[in-house]
């Protein structure tokens, strides 16, 4: 039976990087994945160019860009492997990239550049890669008498796979979450965690479009394809979260960066509140037009908002379907209020099928923030499998790199 220092299960962003780093630190590593292709999420991310990190990440205040039951858990790993560290790796491999807005970094060419970079890193570490190859069983073995490392028992595991049985001193679960099942997502990480008595924060779709029931959405469905900048928020008081991004109307509800961001914080039954004209004080604008114009209210509004939205909006109230000079101040105030404080309650989300990531996962109370090792000695969880979820814009990839790096160095540390 072949034996390895570490078996990494999952050849996505976190698994590939962890395997490569661990191999280069001198560990004998097996990387195994049930899918035929590696890193499908990298391949499809950023419109096929991979939004691989974000310069604005602040590891001293992870709660700004990450959520979970304990957002501070990710501080240690993120501070020890920063966006600048990964940028340096990208530059060493000669991959051209550029910054879009808000610190988001994308490859100039294709996501394939980053996949090949990670595979070369694995090759440099002498990583053995089995793919496609499913792991059907993970079993902790009893410690042999007198076996120890630095005075501590050395855990060992037996893995049953499609290519036979192997033994590993440590097992790293980098199998991701439930998002986008068509590219191979499964609940493997959660099953292994439960098998070894670890807690799970209930998984849910995140960075996902919001949906509304048909009757409630009928008046807006014809706006599908319309995009505009908005301010969007959910929650109350200290739990209030606000994003200033673009919103996209769809046939079933709302999408676009603004909605994907807020979806990670939204809970069933909560409203989302949207300012459809951020930075514009609509009421004074409408009052001024009333004093100087004979246009219909909808035509005036079309000078302040996208015309399709303006046309749809005035149909909601007969009092808004008249010349602005004939409208009441109270009616114009109500119109301005309705656009600046549009409150809608989604019926749900597009689910894991469209979710970019999975919120929730292995409870970080059962993981070491230094090494990602769980309370089950020798068993590690990294990347999306853990209850750490980043904002849209490269944050989740940076968590993948940082948690993988922390794990690899933890496994290679003296005494382990």
Structure confidence by residue, pLDDT tens digits, 49-98: 999 999 999 988 988 999 999 989 999 999 999 999 999 999 999 999 99
Q: Which of 120-129, 139-148, 254-263 has the lowest mean pLDDT?
A: 139-148
DSSP code of residue 12: S
What is the rounded average pLDDT for all residues in the chain?
95
147 has a pLDDT exceeding 90: no
132 cis-preceded (ω within 30 degrees of 0)? yes
- Nearest 5°: the CA angle 359, 406, 175 is 45
Helix (H) or strand (E) run with residue 308 in it: helix 307-314
CB count in 10 Å sphere of residue 359: 24
| Percentage above 90 pLDDT, the chain | 92
Q: Which two tokens stand for residue 6?
A: 């570490």
Q: Say how many Å lie between the first and final Cα of the chain, rounded.
A: 22
Who contacts 56 (Cβ-Cβ below 8 Å, separation ≥6)? 65, 102, 103
Q: How far apart are CA 23 and CA 126, in angstroms?
A: 6
| pLDDT score recorded for residue 372 | 98
The CATH classification number of 209-350 equals 2.40.30.10
Q: How far apart are CA 259 and CA 212, in angstroms?
A: 13
HSE, CB side, 13 Å, CA atoms: give it for residue 232.
26
Fold of 2-205+357-412: FAD/NAD(P)-binding domain (3.50.50)
Please state the domain extents for the chain.
2-205+357-412, 209-350
Residue 153: which pLDDT band, with cuts at 50, 70 and 90? very low
Query: Within 200-274, where are the H helices?
Result: 214-221, 257-263
240 has a pLDDT exceeding 60: yes
Q: Which of 90-104, 149-163, 272-286 has the lowest mean pLDDT?
A: 149-163
Tally of helices (H runs) and strands (E runs) in the chain: 13, 21
DSSP code of residue 413: S
Residue 145: which pLDDT band, with cuts at 50, 70 and 90? low
Mean pLDDT of 167-183: 96
| pLDDT score recorded for residue 120 | 98
Q: How far apart are CA 172 and CA 18, in angstroms?
A: 9
């Amino acid at each position: 039976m072949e034996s390895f220092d570490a078996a990494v299960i999952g050849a996505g962003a976190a698994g590939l990087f962890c395997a490569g780093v661990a191999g280069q630190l001198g560990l004998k590593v097996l990387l195994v994945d049930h899918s035929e292709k590696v890193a499908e999420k990298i391949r499809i991310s950023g419109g096929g160019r991979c939004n691989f990190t974000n310069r604005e990440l602040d590891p001293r205040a992870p709660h700004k860009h990450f959520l979970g039951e304990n957002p501070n858990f990710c501080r240690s790993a993120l501070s020890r492997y920063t966006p600048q560290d990964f940028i340096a790796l990208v530059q060493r491999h000669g991959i051209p990239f550029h910054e879009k807005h808000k610190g988001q970094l994308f490859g100039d060419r294709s996501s394939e550049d980053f996949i090949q970079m990670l595979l070369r890193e694995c090759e440099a570490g002498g990583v053995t890669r089995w793919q496609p190859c499913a792991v059907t069983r993970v079993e902790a073995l009893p410690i042999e008498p007198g076996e120890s490392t630095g005075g501590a028992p050395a855990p060992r595991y037996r893995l049953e796979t499609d290519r036979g049985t192997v033994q590993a001193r440590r097992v790293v679960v980098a199998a991701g979450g439930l998002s986008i099942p068509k590219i191979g997502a499964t609940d493997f990480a959660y099953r292994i965690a439960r098998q070894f008595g670890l807690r799970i924060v209930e998984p849910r779709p995140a960075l996902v479009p919001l949906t509304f029931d048909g009757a409630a959405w009928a008046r807006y469905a014809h706006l599908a394809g319309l995009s505009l900048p908005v301010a969007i928020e959910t929650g109350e008081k200290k739990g209030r979260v606000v994003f200033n991004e673009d919103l996209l109307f769809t046939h079933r509800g709302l999408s676009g960066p603004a909605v994907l961001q807020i979806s990670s914080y939204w809970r069933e039954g909560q409203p989302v509140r949207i300012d459809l004209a951020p930075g514009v004080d609509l009421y004074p604008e409408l009052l001024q037009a009333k004093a100087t114009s004979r246009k219909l209210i909808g035509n005036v509004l079309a000078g302040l908002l996208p015309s399709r939205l303006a046309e749809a909006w005035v149909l909601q109230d007969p009092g808004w379907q008249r010349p602005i000079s004939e409208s009441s101040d109270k009616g114009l105030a109500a119109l301005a209020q309705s656009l600046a404080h549009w409150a809608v309650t989604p019926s749900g989300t597009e689910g894991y099928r469209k979710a970019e990531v999975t919120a929730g996962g292995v409870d970080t109370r059962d993981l070491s923030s230094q090494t990602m090792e769980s309370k089950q000695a020798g068993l590690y969880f990294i990347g999306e499998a853990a209850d750490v979820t980043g904002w849209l814009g490269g944050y989740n990839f940076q968590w993948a790199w940082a948690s993988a790096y922390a794990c690899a160095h933890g496994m290679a540390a003296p005494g382990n």
